[in-house]
């Protein structure tokens, strides 16, 4: 029994450590201009762990359509492509920001209000899910 | 022998086609092309008179580059005096006429600044229009995306003086302070 408890505590504490390995900061969603039901979410994801991780999905009640996108600029031309994962290198912060990586949100089910906090769940490799609130921001 | 004749014929056909193609292009006049806006059509030749014309090319489902640039443009225009604004045209030329309606484009553009006029051009003319101004755009299918396709496009802001002469672009990523200074300087050079 004692052994079992120790094991349980050990498992729980390991889970806790791994959960704290990924930290989310500065989550924002661009207030979509009228006429557009498409927008982008930006966030800083820090991977404090000792292994590379990946962001594989984003979800939220505001839309059924979230995608991970990357942007590239070449010869004055901007290209955007969807990607199935975003690499989060160990011991570093991956910034999803304008002009680079972003989480694209299509077909918003309702209009968003400025300064509103939108619930978003990010899914990482190893079936880890982390909830966050993204603030709807006008000028990004 | 037959091969030589065939390849000669093919080459001739190619030359004729490319000649016709380029000829058709030279007939195209970007300044007299009717540009559709929510308030009717307008032409660049009328628009440019006595004014500085800036043009940005984008599309409505563009999640990042377009709103970033237009947001900077909008906040820069808000710093200009009514007199300065009176000497300025700003066109938002749509690159996705298959998906974007004029009404939605108007709402979108005016949200950033009322001076920004959304312009829609049918695809066949749009290709000539953009080529004339050296703007590149490409419809790219996206696999496994709800978007279906995206539009890769040039992100610089095109600058044209009152004579219709093209000046260096305002580069993508130009911040508000620099953009205001740049637009003011360009405006001061308008006769």
Cβ neighbour number for residue B172 with a 10 Å cutoff? 19
pLDDT for the residue A36: 87
DSSP letter assigned to residue B135: -
Decide if B168 touches A, using CB distance below 8 A: no
Instruction: Output the pLDDT for position B10.
Output: 74
Min Cα–Cα distance to chain B from A133, Å: 20
Interchain CB distance below 8 Å, A34 and B111 = yes
Strands (E), B45-165: 52-58, 88-94, 116-119, 137-141, 149-154, 157-160
Is beta strand B52-58 parallel, antiparallel or unpaired with respect to B157-160?
A: antiparallel
- In three-state secondary structure terms, A30 is strand
pLDDT at A4: 62
Query: B40-61 b/e with 16+ CB inside 10 Å = b?
Result: eebebeebbeebbbbbbbbbbb
Are A99 and B64 inside 8 Å of each other by CB? yes
Identify the CA nearest to B55 among candidates B27, B82, B92, B19: B92
B-chain CB neighbours of A35 within 8 Å are 60, 103-108, 111
Interface test with B, best of A76, A83, A100, A114 (most B CBs within 10 A): A76
Global pTM reads 0.82
Nearest to B146 among A40, A65, A79 (CB): A65
Cα dihedral value B32, B36, B39, B43, nearest 10: -10
CB contacts of A78 in chain B (<8 Å) are 65, 152-155, 172
pLDDT < 50 stretches in chain A: 15-18
- In angstroms, the CA B103 to CA B101 distance is 5
Please count the helices (runs of H) and the strands (runs of E) in chain A.
1, 10
Q: Which of A80, A99, A106 sits opposite B146 (nearest CB)?
A: A106
Which of A38, A39, A40 has the most B C-beta neighbours within 10 Å, making it the best mutation to test the interface with B?
A38
CA distance to partner chain A, nearest, from residue B53 (Å): 20
Give the nearest chain A residue to B105 (CA atoms). Answer: A35
Say how far apart CA A123 and CA A101 lie, in whole Å.
16
A34/B64 Cβ within 8 A = no
Comparing CA positions, the residue from B159, B149, B13 lying closest to residue B89 is B159
**B69-105, pLDDT tens digit by residue?**
999 999 999 999 999 999 999 999 999 999 999 999 9
Q: What is the mean pLDDT of residues B28-38?
A: 95
What pLDDT is recorded for position A17? 46
Whether the complex's predicted ipTM is more than 0.90 is answered with no
Q: Is the pLDDT of residue B23 over 60?
A: no
DSSP state of A49: S
Task: Show which residues on chain A lie within 8 Å of chain B, measured between beta carbons.
Answer: 30, 33-36, 38-40, 65, 67, 69, 71, 73, 76-82, 84, 98-99, 102, 104-107, 139-140
Cβ–Cβ under 8 Å, residues A40 and A102: yes
Do B155 and A78 lie within an 8 Å CB cutoff? yes
pLDDT tens digits, one per residue of B118-162:
999 999 999 999 999 999 999 999 998 988 999 999 999 999 999
């Amino acid at each position: 029994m004692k052994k079992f408890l120790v094991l349980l505590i050990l498992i729980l504490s390991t889970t806790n450590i791994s959960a704290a390995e990924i930290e989310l900061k500065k989550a924002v969603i661009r207030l979509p201009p009228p006429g557009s039901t498409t927008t982008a979410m930006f966030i800083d994801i820090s991977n404090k762990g000792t292994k590379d991780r990946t962001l594989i999905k984003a979800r939220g009640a505001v839309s059924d359509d979230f995608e991970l996108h990357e942007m590239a600029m070449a010869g004055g031309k901007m290209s955007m492509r969807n990607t199935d994962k975003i690499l989060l290198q160990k011991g570093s912060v991956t910034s999803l920001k304008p002009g680079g990586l972003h989480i694209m949100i299509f077909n918003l089910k309702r209009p968003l209000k400025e300064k509103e906090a939108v619930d978003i769940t990010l899914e990482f490799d190893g079936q880890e899910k982390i909830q966050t609130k993204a603030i709807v921001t006008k000028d990004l | 022998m037959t091969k030589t004749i065939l390849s000669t014929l093919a080459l001739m056909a190619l030359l004729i086609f490319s000649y016709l193609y380029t000829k058709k292009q030279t007939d195209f006049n970007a300044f007299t092309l009717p540009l559709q806006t929510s308030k009717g059509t307008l032409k660049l030749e009328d628009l440019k008179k006595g004014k500085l014309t800036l043009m940005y090319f984008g599309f409505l489902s563009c999640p990042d580059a377009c709103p970033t640039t237009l947001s900077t443009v909008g906040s820069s225009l808000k710093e200009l005096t009514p007199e300065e604004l009176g000497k300025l045209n700003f066109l938002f030329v749509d690159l996705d006429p298959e998906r974007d309606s004029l009404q939605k484009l108007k709402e979108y553009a005016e949200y950033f600044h009322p001076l920004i006029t959304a312009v829609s051009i049918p695809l066949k003319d749009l290709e000539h229009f953009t080529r004339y101004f050296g703007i590149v755009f490409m419809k790219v299918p996206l696999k496994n995306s709800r978007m279906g396709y995206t539009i890769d496009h040039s992100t610089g802001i095109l600058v044209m003086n009152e004579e219709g002469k093209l000046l260096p672009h305002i580069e993508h990523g130009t911040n508000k302070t620099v953009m205001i200074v740049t637009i003011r300087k360009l405006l001061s050079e308008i006769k």
